[in-house]
Structure 1
Amino acid sequence: MNSTPNRQVFYGWKVVTALLVMLTFATGLSFYNHAVILNALAQQPAFTVQSASIAVSLFFLSGGVAGLWVARWVNDYDPRFCISFGALICGASLAGLALITKVWQLYVLYLIFGVGFSASNLVPATTLVTRWFHKKRAMALSIASTGLSLGGVIITPICAVLVESLGLGRAAPVMGLMYVAGVVPVSLIWLRPSPESMGLQPDDDQTSENETQGTLSSDPFGETSSNSAGDQVAQKVASQPVKSKLPAGVSFRDARRGRLFWAMSTAYIFLMMAQVGGISHQYGLARELLDESQTALVVAILPIASIVGRLAGGWVIEQLSIRSFAIGMMILQVVSLLLLSGGYNPFTLCLGLASFGITVGNLLMLQPLLIAEAFGVREYPRIFAVSNFMSSWGTASGPAALGLVYATSSNLYGAAYLLAAAAGLAGLALFLAGGPLKRS
């Protein structure tokens, strides 16, 4: 009797869901959690806001450097082991916050923390998405990277309550355990290194594992029928081995010889300087116009807009040129930062934070998409790691640069956000100088 069972959901979407959960815990306990941790440290006699801020810069710098090593590991071995190892480092680093009593100990701990964060965050996550998806890569990455914002909306407030109620000494081990529990199980159980490792193809649009065994053949609508000979299947499979074994794209050696790679990577130094600098000082900016309770509500606008913008962006990219969409987001970043620098009234503040949040959600997602579009997946981990290392310079310097301008401008944020807008404009100019996305 012939049967037509329902086609199973492509396993790549399970990978995307697992990455969303992983990134939610990873960023919620690290990237967005720095403000909570450093505020608690600054209340202790041994630490100041300035010394704690330097620790954050060391975190991003060590993460950028470690990303170069992480890329090789992810490229040569199963990414699940890299992610799990990184999560264990992060868990131990968070727990170690309960033991530090000196500034140098904080710096060493945050250097180690940054290494673990790099191994369990964007480099392995975006590598997996680029392997599992080609045609639907933008949508898949937009869903997975939503975890970057959800972490700030869900996990970080929990950490703030823990630190407030228990104190950093008792809350730190709990946060460390949360990192390990939220990242390691979901990674080991649901992540897989590539579709080929399961007998599948990217986007699930080619021969399935059953077909390669000569037992079943699939039509474009997902229905199955018996195959008595298997010759047609053998011919189809024989015509595809080069695709699976030799992914499309260029080597890092070839990528770095072109203007596009350097223009794109340098542009992201300034784009991330503007983005992370703007994010880190949004609370202080809002306090210039609002009271404490109003500010607590207003600062939620940015992460919410980031989530909505990223999901919408994943759909828009499939309809438009990715380069055109990226240019549009860079322009919107400059405009939103200029609006925030004006300090006009609460309405323009909210409008500026909402539009800025849309760019935050998309510009971070666009970096791996642009690299995959321009250079393919052949040596994507290494190419992205080097580009991400360069952008970490902007990530690390943004908060400090805006803070310095703030301190020299009568403790007002207008000039600081003008600097952020100028950095965003520089990033746009450099990106345009790279020319169109052309794969060698």
Structure 2
Amino acid sequence: MSLATTSALPQQAPFFGWRVVWAAFTVAAFGWGVGFYGPPIFLPAIQAERGWPVALVSAAVTCHFLLGAVVVANLAALHRRFGLVAVTRAAAVASALGFLGWALATEPWQLFAATLLSGFGWAATGAAAINAMVSPWFVRRRSAALSTAYNGASLGGIALSPLWVALIAALGFAGAAALVGGVMVLALWWLSGRYFAPTPAGMGQAPDGEAAGAPLPSGPAMRPGRAMWRDRRFISLAAATSLGLFAQIGLIAHLFSLLLPALGAQGAGFAAGLATACAIAGRTGLGWLLPAGADRRRAAAANFALQVTGSLVLLAAGGTEVPLLLLGVVLFGLGLGNATSLPPLIAQQDFAPAETARAVALVTACSQAAYAFAPAAFGMLRTLGEGGAPLLFIAAAAIQAAAAGVMLLGRAR
């Protein structure tokens, strides 16, 4: 073939899917950095400015997550009706306006009204939304793609949590909310139109960048309507994910203060950062090393078992043994990220492709509704006299063990 003939052949465009992954990574950074890690920082700011009781502001945080769970349950339908681009842009605007409403509220009812917007914004930029952005572009390499995109959530916690504190101190809560919200709207508005509007079919590309090999086997289609709630695979996935995240978030919410006596403020801050770094390492490692045909429920059960071990090591440390405390933080932290990235991969393996997005959205909604109450529930355990702190580690280990068992119950017979 001559050089002229070769140059005349159409050149295939580079695979667009990994650009979508990095756009989703940015959405996750804003989504978690504002909608997930933000409310615990906003709580003391609102209390200091308004003098409202902690219980009232905490109830607003819980309301924020519960309203988000309602939206997540219907997120797949919203994407079908309005499109991924429009819903993501609306989520960015809702987050910005919602948290500005938190900052400007002068009456408690105004604070709770603002959670209607902030809850929607968090739901449409959270785990189910990231899955909807990335999944059309990947089948065999979906675990690697999702793990990369979900790492934006950890980056959001690392970068935006201290940034929120600094901005609130410098500009006040309203100024900080306006600045971060404005940047979020501009970034997500452009990213949505540039990277989420194209589809593989529209660009003439196949999932994973090539058509080599058949897609992964999928289970039978999920039954429609209420019959889905009698599907053993769905129930076990939703229950196990809810249990795991309840234990995980309940313990993480109190871990800093539990480590404070032994490590001091700087040491406890280092330990919190170490847990986040381990979450990124654990999610990335499993995402890239998990074989395409591996039993993902077994992987999830092993991840829960790793966190059980971490909880028991923290218990054995007795609040004084620093090496054991740090080892427990590492073991528990390695499983943090996979609690979010594995459920969509299990849904891909268990359900037909057309049903995966709905399954992921409903599992996310169930788990979000559960973990909204986790910090308060674990806080109640701490009030039980001198044995309160060890009870947190025992409870976390027991709930994670139950999650592993429930996850395995849903394996194919």
TM-score in terms of structure 1 length: 0.85
> Partner residue of 2:174?
169
* SS of equivalent to 1:197: coil
State which drifts further: 426-435 or 356-365: 426-435
Distance 1:58 1:397, change over 3 A: same
Q: Does 1:337 align with 2:311?
A: yes
Residue of 3, 6, 11 corresponding to 1:3: 6
> Partner residue of 2:221?
250
Q: Does 1:61 align with 2:66?
A: yes
CA deviation map 1:259-296 (0-9, x unaligned): 11111111111111011112211211111312222222
* SS of equivalent to 2:104: coil
Q: Does 1:405 align with 2:408?
A: no
Structure 1: where are the runs of 5+ without partners?
Answer: 207-219, 221-239
> Partner residue of 2:193?
188
What's the offset of the Cα at 1:327?
A: 1.4
One-letter identity of the residue aligned with 2:188 = V
What's the offset of the Cα at 1:339?
A: 2.0
What's the offset of the Cα at 1:104?
A: 2.8
8 A contact 1:62–1:111 mirrored in 2: yes
Distance 1:252 1:285, change over 3 A: farther
**Greater per-residue helix proportion:** 2
8 A contact 1:98–1:173 mirrored in 2: no
> Partner residue of 2:257?
284
Residue of 278, 303, 316 corresponding to 1:305: 278
Superposed, 1:112-261 pairs within 5 Å as: 112-192=117-197, 194-206=199-211, 250-253=221-224, 255-261=228-234
What's the offset of the Cα at 1:91?
A: 0.7
Distance in 1 separating the partners of 2:393 and 2:374: 11
8 A contact 2:101–2:111 mirrored in 1: no
Q: Does 1:24 align with 2:26?
A: no
Structure 2: where are the runs of 5+ without partners?
Answer: none
CA deviation map 1:398-430 (0-9, x unaligned): 111101111223485221222222221221121
> Partner residue of 2:325?
349
One-letter identity of the residue aligned with 1:2 = T
One-letter identity of the residue aligned with 2:192 = S
State which drifts further: 259-268 or 195-204: 195-204
Q: Does 1:90 align with 2:105?
A: no
- Which structure has the larger Rg? 1
8 A contact 2:302–2:404 mirrored in 1: no
State which drifts further: 363-372 or 196-205: 196-205
Instruction: Indicate the percent of aligned positions where both proteins have the same amino acid.
Output: 28
> Partner residue of 1:105?
110
> Partner residue of 1:212?
none
> Partner residue of 2:296?
322
Distance in 2 separating the partners of 1:196 and 1:349: 50
One-letter identity of the residue aligned with 1:79 = L
What's the offset of the Cα at 1:39?
A: 2.0
Distance 1:45 1:127, change over 3 A: closer
Distance in 1 separating the partners of 2:282 and 2:161: 20
* SS of equivalent to 1:281: helix
Distance in 2 separating the partners of 1:47 and 1:429: 42
TM-score in terms of structure 2 length: 0.90
- Number of aligned residue pairs: give it: 400
One-letter identity of the residue aligned with 2:238 = S
8 A contact 1:13–1:140 mirrored in 2: yes
Q: Does 1:81 align with 2:83?
A: no
CA deviation map 1:183-218 (0-9, x unaligned): 222122122353123222211223xxxxxxxxxxxx
* SS of equivalent to 1:14: helix
What's the offset of the Cα at 1:77?
A: 4.1
One-letter identity of the residue aligned with 2:162 = P
